[in-house]
Amino acid sequence: MIRPSAFTAPGRFWRGNLHTHSTRSDGVLPPEEVCRRYRAEGYDFLALTDHFVGCYGYPIVDTVPFRSNDFTTILGAELHSGAMANGELWHILAVGLPADFAPSDSPDFDPKPGQETAEQLAARAVAAGAFVAIAHPQWSGLTLADARGLTSAHAVEIYNHGCATGCDRADGFAIADLLLTEGRRLTMVATDDAHFSEPDHFGGWVMVKAQENTPESLLAALKAGDFYSSQGPALHDIRVEADRVIVESSAVVSVIAQGAGTAARATHGHSMTRTEVPLARLNNSSWLRVTVIDTGGKRAWSNPIWR
């Protein structure tokens, strides 16, 4: 039997958003108000990730003053350097950066000859202690070849609420699943990418299993994969047996196991809180992941489980 580490690691689940913007780049609210709103909405932590480009002064916003005994912040930024296949600049989410992280040569949102590649920038961020994710693949027009080149990334942003509300391009699963099938050991994050200029907030988050609601504990858990992502439903446990996966959750109407290629199987019902999904169609897949869907269409997603 296999149980993902999110359900075996010590501690409790903490709700957080890993991708947010403020007036320090292209958001419409000052950092203190962004933090206030997330705390008021019941979040346990927030990473403010303003755009790390020269026209905004390469901000890594100091959110330490907005921490409290029931809310913490993690320093971070959305990094940019190098061109994707479509000629546009890369977007790389980096959570847990030091305040003195050295700027890339990225004066604006246009690629510049001779600047760092995306992989070089991502590798620097990882070396500096950050949790790094490939941001909004569908919105960016990211190709599989692009994604293959970012080998330092820990994760793929599989749901971006701002991209859902702003342009109906929220998906990162197509890229993530192909990378998993090629053997990349990646995790998956849902985020807001909130700018507060449209209804792009409080729509996607991570539930991180950690012993303390501190930046250090949360970052360690993120890097270890001790989390799941959600738009609303809760995952309580997942157990993979030889012929089935058993999922315990809040009340849902569908539980789906997905794997490589066309491998997928679903169980549907009413108010399901303990659900078994047969895995016969996934026997040839080295990995699987689980999606649950509630009666309102809201989803939660496990990280990939390697068999």
Tokens of 260: 């490589």
Gyration radius (Cα) of the chain, Å: 19
The pLDDT of residue 273 is: 98
Task: Give the right CATH number for 235-306 from 3.30.43, 3.40.50, 2.60.40, 2.50.20.
Answer: 2.60.40
| Domains in the chain: boundaries | 5-230, 235-306
Task: Indicate the residue type of 196.
Answer: F
The pLDDT-based confidence of 306 (bands split at 50, 70, 90) is very high
The pLDDT of residue 149 is: 97
The pLDDT of residue 292 is: 99
Cα 22 from chain centroid (whole Å): 19
- Which CATH code fits 5-230? 3.20.20.140
The pLDDT of residue 40 is: 98
Stretch 237-250: mean pLDDT, rounded?
97
What span, in angstroms and rounded, lies between the C-alpha atoms of 47 and 42? 15
**pLDDT tens-place string over residues 159-187:** 999 999 999 999 999 999 999 999 999 99
What span, in angstroms and rounded, lies between the C-alpha atoms of 290 and 235? 10
What span, in angstroms and rounded, lies between the C-alpha atoms of 286 and 155? 18
Secondary structure of the chain as H, E, C letters: CECCHHHCCCCEEEEEECCECCCCCCCCCCHHHHHHHHHHCCCCEEEECCEECHHHCCCCCCCHHHCECCEEEEEEEEECCCECCCCCECCEEEECCCCCCCCCCCCCCCCCCCCCCHHHHHHHHHHCCCEEEECCHHHHCCCHHHHHHCCCCCEEEEEEHHHHHHHCCCECHHHHHHHHHCCCCCEEEEECCECCCCCCCCCCEEEEEECCCCHHHHHHHHHHCCEEEECCCCEEEEEECCCEEEEEEEEEEEEEEECCCCCEEEEEEEEEEEEEEECHHHCCCCEEEEEEECCCCCEEECCCEEC
Nearest to 40 by CA among 2, 60, 65, 66: 66
The pLDDT of residue 171 is: 96
The pLDDT of residue 101 is: 98
The pLDDT of residue 172 is: 98
Strand partners, 73: 46
Strand partners, 83: 89
Q: Render the burial of 121-145: b for 16+ CB within 10 Å, e for the rest.
A: bbbbbbeeebbbbbbbbbbbebeee
**pLDDT tens-place string over residues 255-281:** 999 999 999 999 999 999 999 999 999
For 248, other C-beta atoms within 10 Å of its C-beta total 16
For 16, other C-beta atoms within 10 Å of its C-beta total 26
The pLDDT-based confidence of 287 (bands split at 50, 70, 90) is very high
CA distances 301 to 83, 288, 290, Å, are 30, 11, 6
Q: Are 300 and 231 in contact (CB under 8 A)?
A: yes
Q: Is 65 exposed, middle or buried (0-12, 13-18, 19+ CB in 10 A)?
A: exposed
Place of tokens 């699987």: 288
The pLDDT of residue 237 is: 98
**pLDDT tens-place string over residues 47-63:** 999 999 999 999 999 99
Tokens of 276: 């078994």
Model confidence pTM above 0.95: yes
The pLDDT-based confidence of 86 (bands split at 50, 70, 90) is very high
**pLDDT tens-place string over residues 95-136:** 999 999 999 999 999 999 999 999 999 999 999 999 999 999
